[in-house]
Amino acid sequence: MNWDRVEGNWKQFTGKVKEQWGKLTDDDIAQINGNRDQLEGKLQARYGYAKDQVKEDVDSWLNRHG
């Protein structure tokens, strides 16, 4: 699946995002609003992951939910 599908249906994916990354708050989810760069930034902030790790995690999550 590509990110455009997630972005266009963000409200439908928020539950799956919260299941995967439970440290994200409802405010984080609202601020992300389907923007992949925002998601990656929030994951870096909440989990302390490196940028490359976050990108891999998001790609992996996309592949599982595609």
pLDDT at 66: 62
Residue 2 — very low, low, confident or very high, per pLDDT cuts 50/70/90? confident
* Long-range contact pairs involving 51-59 (C-beta distance under 8 Å, separation at least 24): none
pLDDT tens-place string over residues 26-62: 999 999 999 999 999 999 999 999 999 999 999 999 9
Q: Where are the alpha helices (DSSP H) in the chain?
A: 3-8, 10-20, 26-32, 36-47, 51-64
Structure tokens at 21: 């990354």
What are the Cα distances from residue 41, in Å, to 3, 66? 16, 22
pLDDT tens-place string over residues 5-15: 999 999 999 99
- In the predicted structure, residue 1 carries a pLDDT above the cut 90: no
pLDDT at 23: 97
pTM of the predicted model over 0.85: yes
Is-contact 43 25, C-beta < 8 A? no
